[in-house]
Chain A
Amino acid sequence: MSAAGLTSRNTETIERALDVKGRSLWVDARRRMMRNRAAVVSVVLLTTIALVAIFVPMVWPYSYQQIDYSNILCAPGWWPDRSVSCFAGGYHIFGTEQNGRDLFIRVLYGARISLAVGLVATLVSLLIGVGYGAIAGFIGGKLDELMMRFVDVLYSLPYIFLVIILMVVFNQNFFLLFVAIGAVEWLTMARIVRGQTLSIKEKEFVEAARAAGLSPLKTIRQHIGPNILGPVVVYVTLTSPTVILSESFRSVLGLGIREPLTSWGVLISDGAAHLETAPWMLIFPAAIMAITLFCFNFIGDGLRDALDPKDR
């Protein structure tokens, strides 16, 4: 074969290769995610819950703090057990609670609070955890050891105690409380990011970037960042339900949000108190919360399967 022929064949191969559209990790991941039925259903459900929680209160006929003493602990009109003491008429589709307030709108407000807690606290934990972990992992050495030692110390403090103490500290300020929860939740994130950074740092492409004279900060942002994104995304979806749970947890202990605002934890503990006479007060908030937590877990599992390079 002549030299010219060889070149033309090479060119042809290269051209053919260029024609094939490259599939990035994310395109692949999205395809795998779409094939996971449980995860897709969860995304749809969670979006629905969020949208309903945001928009329906704007048009709902009752407000979350409107007390109605003629309608205390009344079942919704469609309640199957006809032996309950009273039925709330009108649009009380979830019945009413101990002050005659509409349970449906209160569940929606609970959803707003719980989802907001999940979002803000997770974002805070993301910022702190990724920054901390990436620095520790990238610089390494003594600093890494010191930083991780500090994480270990915080780890051995039963985390709920820290949250409860923070709760006492930030008694009046709800927003600061979210930040505080996030500031406690970042530990695992920092560990994950550090571990990933440590292993990626040794890869050839990072060495190549260093050889090309890229600054450490740019190396972290352009080369290490995108490669740790997978586990971080997975962990974010798993942190949100933990945060939501811990918020309700404290509400149940009486350390949560103040009346007349409400959260799922407050509604559930009120429901538990009236379980005998008004079971709907426990069932609806608990069910909606369980569905939300289910969704987060399924999405997290789905993302993990989708982003795990082992299966590629």
Chain B
Amino acid sequence: MLSYAIKRILGAIPTLLIIITLVFFMMRIAPGGPFDAQRHLPPEIENNIKAAYHLDQPIWKQYGLYMANLAHGDLGPSFKNHDFSVNELIADGLPVSAKLGFSAIILSIVFGITLGTIAALNQNDVVDHGVMGLAMIGITVPSFVTAPILALVFGIYGLHLFGIDIFLPAGGWNGGALQNMILPVIVLALPQIAIIARLVRGSMVEVLRSNYVRTARAKGLPNYVVVYRHALREALLPVVSYLGPAIAGLLTGSLIVETIFGIPGIGRYFVEGAINRDYTLVMGVVIYYAAFVIVLNLIADILYAAMDPRVRFQ
């Protein structure tokens, strides 16, 4: 297993290099530069600024310079957030994004599996149709619709439940306080809950029909033992292999959620960076995200093999 993991990590390095190269040149090809939007500068000052960021060099030299710095773990200075290096900005935003994403993935897994299992156990009755209908809504209604609606309901009108007014902040981060996290995490998790619930229901329905489950029932095992110990274990396999795409989905969602709720994570840096042509910042965020996705895919694969003895490491 260790050699498999090492092989996969080594295989990820060229992948990462190709991604970095691709994004580097795509950003430079894009019309407009990071210093275009500012008021018109005298040409000598503009040249000085360009020289300071090595933008006056030929593009392949810029690329070489960037890669050399990257090898030292230096992502360069941000072009737009003066006096900040990209490393500092990412170090600033990453804990925020990570906290948000991690909470959302836990929430999606717990709720997705629970709802999917409940639906499968009540196959084709009201509960099943209700859960699957909700899941369909969760998949089709995008996060940029649910976010403002939830913000309106909880942040502005407040929800009156059992005589208690529930108010949640409609935006801001506030150092990651619980009440600030609830809405963004829910918005982020909803589509993933829906997808995971559908996956679990599908595989659970099939597993419940299989021979070994029938055997377990025939032995007279109580229903919950059959479900938890026998059926769930196999029914969860598709969820494990979905974890990679799920995390990619969460990252995508975090762009929107961070922008709408005004959360200072790295997703927001990416959007701002792309609009402002902040080359280094965009590169830095993409490198982080790509590395993240690669590592998590690897973990998901290893987990999958550990859970399913039929899969052998190759």
Contact = CB atoms under 8 A, between A and B. Distances in A.
A272 B170 CA distance: 12
Contact of A286 (B32, B145, B277): B145
B251 interface: yes
Among A245, A249, A297, chain B packs the most CB atoms within 10 A around the CB of: A249
A156 B301 CA distance: 14
Interface string A252-294: 1111000000000100110110011000001000100110011
Contacts of B252: 158-160, 249
B286 A276 contact: no
B205 interface: no
A153 B15 contact: yes
Given A156-B293, A158-B293, A297-B136, A265 B144 contact: yes
Among B26, B27, B145, B252, chain A packs the most CB atoms within 10 A around the CB of: B145
Interface in B204-257: 248, 251-252, 255-256
Contacts of A143: none
A297 B144 contact: no
Nearest to B147: A272
Contacts of A160: 251-252, 255
A292 B260 CA distance: 24
Given A171-B31, A248-B144, A275-B152, A161 B18 contact: no
Contact of A171 (B19, B30, B286): B30
Interface residues of B, dominant DSSP: helix
B26 A169 contact: yes
A166 B152 CA distance: 33
Nearest to B293: A156
Contacts of B151: 275
Contact of B141 (A249, A269, A286): A286
B299 interface: no
B148 A158 contact: no
A164 B269 CA distance: 13
Interface in B263-289: 270-271, 274-275, 277, 282, 285-286, 289
Given A153-B19, A165-B26, A165-B274, A159 B248 contact: yes
A128 to B, nearest CB: 17
A157 interface: yes
Nearest to A282: B148
Among A159, A160, A245, A297, chain B packs the most CB atoms within 10 A around the CB of: A160
B250 to A, nearest CB: 10
A268 B147 CA distance: 11
B271 A164 contact: yes
Given A157-B22, A158-B290, A276-B156, A253 B145 contact: no
Contacts of B26: 165-166, 169
Interface in B139-183: 139-142, 144-145, 147-149, 151-152, 156
Given A168-B277, A272-B147, A294 B136 contact: yes
Interface string A205-243: 000000000000000000000000000000000000100
B260 to A, nearest CB: 7
A165 B23 contact: yes
**Leading 9 A-B pairs by shortest Cβ distance:** A272-B148, A293-B140, A160-B252, A252-B144, A169-B30, A286-B145, A168-B30, A153-B15, A153-B18
Interface of B: 12, 14-15, 18-19, 22-23, 26-27, 29-32, 136-137, 139-142, 144-145, 147-149, 151-152, 156, 248, 251-252, 255-256, 259-260, 270-271, 274-275, 277, 282, 285-286, 289-290, 293-294, 297
Interface of A: 152-153, 156-161, 164-169, 171-172, 241, 245, 248-249, 252-255, 265, 268-269, 271-272, 275-276, 282, 286, 289-290, 293-294, 297
20 contacts: A156-B294, A157-B19, A157-B286, A158-B286, A158-B290, A159-B252, A161-B270, A164-B274, A165-B27, A168-B277, A169-B26, A169-B29, A169-B30, A249-B144, A253-B271, A254-B275, A286-B141, A289-B142, A290-B141, A294-B136
Given A157-B286, A169-B26, A289-B142, 18 more contacts: A156-B19, A156-B290, A157-B23, A157-B290, A158-B252, A158-B293, A159-B248, A161-B285, A161-B289, A164-B270, A164-B271, A245-B142, A249-B256, A252-B144, A269-B144, A286-B141, A290-B137, A290-B141
